[in-house]
Structure 1
Amino acid sequence: MNLASTGGRQAAWRAYDWQLIDTGPLQPLQHMALDEVLLDEVAAGRRLPTLRFWEWAAPAVVLGIFQSVRNEVDAAAAQRHGVEIVRRISGGGAMFVEPGNTITYSIYAPKALVEGMSFKDAYAFMDDFVLEALGEVGIRAWYQPLNDITSDAGKIGGAAQARRGAAVLHHVTMAYDIDADKMLQILRIGREKLSDKGTTSAAKRVDPLRSQTGLPRAVLIDRMVDVFKRRAGLQPGVLTPHELAVAEALIHEKFATDAWRAKVP
């Protein structure tokens, strides 16, 4: 994107009224279902564009929609550590999450916001507010195409997107205080990547925000919210009874089923 188009795109954020949702801790399957419900609600025009920060009530491995369970996860290790395996509706790679150890958020936006952009540009554009927030706390961060957020100290997180009807879902998980040893026991792909790099410590590949900033997780989230609010405006929002009911139904009909979880065995 050139500077002129970037300026125009940044102004486009304010063309919408944005809501912020903070649900408190939820189970992994609830998060998976809510992403689909809120994407559909924005697409249907029943919900304003929304930013949602996630709180995890339990640890999980979150697989991308096209990923193989066998290839990505050591199921025995996951069971041993009490880590649930779930599958989201977007692409991208597997993420290992634990309560309080990651920063995860979703943006549910009209597709018009990224209309005409390449996927590469859309990813970077949707997360530019986070790069600015990280810069304000002393981290020089940038996008590593297609979907990694990285810094001089190492990878911080990864993004994924799903588009449906008139809306786009963009979500990100960033390492705040990740247990690298546990992650390597559970994620097979993590072992392969480290082996490929000749690296013996996961901390040298993924460097959590806690070690890079020394700041509490809540402070980092507040800074991200502040930057988003400056750029786009942001008002408090809540989940509606309808959205909660549909999400609960989706858990039983889709996300908790073996057919979905093992969509790619």
Structure 2
Amino acid sequence: MKNSRWRYIEDDGSSASFGPAADEYITRKLHLSPYSHIVRLYTYKGPSVIVGRNQDIESEVNLTCCTKLGIDINRRPTGGGAIVMGEGQLGIAIAGPVNDQSPLLASKTVFGPFTKGIIVALGLLGIKSEFRPKNDIHVKGRKIAGLASCTFDGHPAGLYHASILADMDTDLMLRLLKKPGRKDGSITTVSSELGRYVSTHELRECVKRGFEKALNAELIPAPLNKEELAEIRELEERKYKSRDWVYHGKEHSTRDYHTQYAVPGIR
């Protein structure tokens, strides 16, 4: 993997349905790519509620409040708990091969190399963090990022997910989620750790550099082209705008390496 070329995609303002559709698409198409891995760093437009692959949406989300506030809801292919994503949260999606030669997404090692990239990125901002099994990154005992991964049946690649809070609207989160987690200071954000506002743009630049430094990879900017966007929108319409998927998770099967998507502010 040393000095390997990774495709780098930046997206801002993803909708609740486009975000997970794009992540699934780049994973399924990795085997056709000239790049060894694909990295997508993105934000959602406005607040969106994204539930885990196996969650009961009515038990986790205040649907009445979401409807009243015009908050979109969707379901990601990785497991774990409900999260609120928006302009202040950076989504990370990495598509990587799953085989004996590149075991980065093997179940026992999935978080090691990629988590190192996030830890290095936070270090570039002056934040010392550490990995806490099985799927958290902590700063002084408080969670700042959460991790998850899955594979899609019949495809030789896996999807690695992470979410880092640059900032967070705690009051809104408590209104939108029925089980938002503890309110005892067990979570933190990049902005609160540094005592200043940190934009997702600034955080994203550090994450990009962190992956390049930690994994000896060259991230080559290559935005999604028109053909890819059209195929993502087809997947979005067919699956991620389907009520069966959003409310019941009914579609083709995926296999979660880790069922908890331990995002700060949730659990």
Q: TM-score range by the shorter chain?
A: 0.7 to 0.9
What secondary structure does 2:29 align onto?
A: helix
Greater share of residues in helix: 1
Question: Which of residues 9, 22, 39 is equivalent to 2:10?
Answer: 22
Is 1:162 equivalent to 2:138 in the alignment?
A: no
Question: How far is the alpha carbon of 1:25 from its aligned partner?
Answer: 2.0
One-letter amino acid of the counterpart of residue 21, structure 1: I
One-letter amino acid of the counterpart of residue 189, structure 1: K
Segments of structure 1 that go 5 or more residues without pairing to the other structure are 1-11, 195-200
Farther off after superposition, 111-120 or 164-173: 111-120
Task: State how 1:76-225 maps to structure 2 within 5 Å.
Answer: 76-99=64-87, 101-112=88-99, 115=103, 119-152=107-140, 154-164=142-152, 165-190=155-180, 193-194=181-182, 201=183, 204-213=185-194, 214=196, 216-217=198-199, 218-225=201-208
Question: How far is the alpha carbon of 1:205 from its aligned partner?
Answer: 2.4
Q: Does structure 2 conserve the Cα–Cα contact (< 8 Å) formed by 1:59 and 1:82?
A: no
What secondary structure does 2:32 align onto?
A: coil
Structure 1 distance, partners of 2:44, 2:178, is 22
Structure 2 distance, partners of 1:227, 1:98, is 22
One-letter amino acid of the counterpart of residue 97, structure 2: P
In the TM superposition, what whole-angstrom CA distance separates every residue of 1:42-92 from its partner, at most 9, and x where no partner exists? 0x3235221111121231111111111022111112223322110011112
Structure 1 distance, partners of 2:218, 2:249, is 40
**Once superposed, what is the RMSD of the aligned Cα atoms?**
2.1
Structure 2 distance, partners of 1:75, 1:172, is 25
* Paired-residue identity, %: 24
Structure 2 distance, partners of 1:37, 1:206, is 31
Compared with structure 1, are the counterparts of its residues 117 and 89 closer, same or farther at alpha carbon in structure 2 (3 Å cutoff)?
closer
Aligned residues: 242
Q: Does structure 1 conserve the Cα–Cα contact (< 8 Å) formed by 2:9 and 2:40?
A: yes
Question: How far is the alpha carbon of 1:252 from its aligned partner?
Answer: 1.5
Structure 2 distance, partners of 1:220, 1:143, is 18
In the TM superposition, what whole-angstrom CA distance separates every residue of 1:118-173 from its partner, at most 9, and x where no partner exists? 63531132221110121232222112222222111621121111113211111111
Structure 2 distance, partners of 1:56, 1:34, is 12
Q: TM-score, normalised by structure 1?
A: 0.84
Question: How far is the alpha carbon of 1:186 from its aligned partner?
Answer: 1.3
Question: Which of residues 221, 225, 246 is equivalent to 1:261?
Answer: 246
Compared with structure 1, are the counterparts of its residues 13 and 34 closer, same or farther at alpha carbon in structure 2 (3 Å cutoff)?
farther
Structure 2 distance, partners of 1:47, 1:86, is 31
Greater gyration radius: 1
Q: TM-score, normalised by structure 2?
A: 0.83
Segments of structure 2 that go 5 or more residues without pairing to the other structure are 251-267
Structure 2 distance, partners of 1:117, 1:23, is 23
Alignment match, 2:258: none
One-letter amino acid of the counterpart of residue 216, structure 1: V
Compared with structure 1, are the counterparts of its residues 180 and 153 closer, same or farther at alpha carbon in structure 2 (3 Å cutoff)?
farther
